[in-house]
Amino acid sequence: HFREIVTLDGPAGVGKTTMAKRLAGALGIPYLDTGAMYRVCGMRLGEEGATMPESAIMEVLRSIDFALEGSGAETKLLVDMHPVGAEIRTERVGMLASTVGTLAPVRAYCREAQQGLGRLTPLVAEGRDMGTVVFPDAAHKFFLDAEPEIRARRRLNQLKEMGTSDLPTLEDLAAQIAARDHQDRTRSEAPLKPAEDAVIIDTGELDVDGVFERLLQAIKAKS
């Protein structure tokens, strides 16, 4: 049985969630979509989150209870006992997540929740700071990257597949993703960057199967 933590970090639209699900399925362990956790925080705190006093932020955060159910590709992230819904998947909520994700109490709350889950079960943990901050001792660390245009196109396809109404144009989506990545890379706490010991994979050069094989081979080689 696989008992370790695998971290997958990288910018928006690089294929982290797709890979996390597949890898979790292959390894027989749950995956943790930490972006979804920040998206939930973004929705609960709203636009006002960025200017709220710390005590008010903490009160909102304390009312959010994260848990995992199931494993493999079927893993569900539960918020207050309910699976997270599709309403968090818009680019507006992504930007809200990025903005509240610059706040120290939000990062501390999510980090502790993530580490708590990681103590209960092996995980494929995907996000921005899994290998650098949350699970610095993880056995297997990866950083996925791809050209911004490729990522915007992928994200647009995902939105189409989800049946999103008011699809953004590719140009608008690319600009929104670029703004979010910039905010994620330049924040002072837990910025988006590869861990020193992460394997960096360019997902623009490979198809889904190709990336998956690279990940699996690297894990097998070290296990």
Binding-site residue positions for ATP: 10-18
With binding defined as CB under 6 A, does residue 129 bind ligand C5P?
yes
In angstroms, the Cα distances linking 173 to 13, 52, 149, 212 are 11, 28, 10, 26
Query: How many residues bind to ligand C5P according to rule CB under 6 A?
Result: 16
**Cβ within 8 Å of residue 19, ≥6 positions away:** 8, 126, 144, 208, 211, 212, 215
Nearest distance from residue 58's CB to ligand C5P, in Å?
18
Instruction: Tell me if residue 77 falls in helix, strand or coil.
Output: strand
With binding defined as CB under 6 A, does residue 91 bind ligand C5P?
no
Give the CA radius of gyration of the chain: 16
Nearest distance from residue 1's CB to ligand C5P, in Å?
26
Stretch that binds ligand C5P, among 20-28, 93-101, 165-173, 195-203 (CB under 6 A): 93-101
Question: d(Cα 124, Cα 19) in Å, to the nearest integer?
Answer: 9
With binding defined as CB under 6 A, does residue 118 bind ligand C5P?
no
Applying CB under 6 A, the residues found at the interface with ligand C5P are 12, 34-36, 38-39, 94, 97-98, 101, 127-130, 180, 184
